[in-house]
Homo-oligomer: A and B are copies of this chain.
Amino acid sequence: MRMAALSGASGIPVATIKFYLREGLLHAGERTSPNQSQYDTTHVHRLRLIRALTEVGGLSIMAAGELLATIDNPELPMHQVFGIAQGAVRLPISQISAQDLADGSELLDKVISDRGWQVADSLVARADATRVVGTMRALGLEHSHRMLDSYARAAEIVAKADMDSVQAVTGRDAKVETVVAGTVLGDVLLAALRRIAQADYSSAMFGEATAGPPGAALPPAN
């Protein structure tokens, strides 16, 4: 198909597609004349992936571009693809005090050991989790090992599902794309489902008590 048809098929304006081509996020079409190229379904699919990463996943164009470069490098071992996908979605965490860090580290190490997770001390996500747990503890939010343990159990279920969906597709490119898009979109999906489940518990727990007869749960407030 020509550029105009690619724009129609993907719903993305021609100028935006040209920008993606220039920036290397989208592979070039097959040149049929000095001013024209032919595009195919691989271009439509890649455009969908770019939009998923930037519009649904919230990545910048630059971050999406770096991430997509991993898909195009067949030399990269699969176990490194996860690291790169994880690195593209940096969690918004900065420094905390040494004491909070030490407390967080102690709590997190226990959870990791309880779950039998074999992960390197140098894993970025481990440092991120340590800072969040330390901050929660400093705020008095972490009232028992139980909460952290529940989160870890949930994370394990999700990571298992992530791995299963990587296993379910065939071919290296499809596996890598599943890792990349799944890492970015999975965070958002999980956060949204958490809110839905909270709304269910919240209306049952607080809706009735504050504003209605028993059995008549209020809909949540947003």
Contact = CB atoms under 8 A, between A and B. Distances in A.
A91 B186 contact: no
Nearest to A111: B193
Contacts of A159: 194, 197-198, 200-201
Contacts of A125: 192-193, 195-196, 199, 222
Copies of this chain in the oligomer:
2
B205 A83 contact: no
B155 A194 contact: yes
A88 B193 CA distance: 16
Interface in A116-132: 117-120, 122-126, 128-129, 131-132
Contacts of A154: 153-155, 157-158, 161, 190, 193
A19 interface: no
A40 interface: no
11 contacts: A57-B92, A58-B91, A82-B206, A83-B222, A115-B197, A123-B196, A129-B196, A136-B185, A140-B174, A150-B164, A151-B193
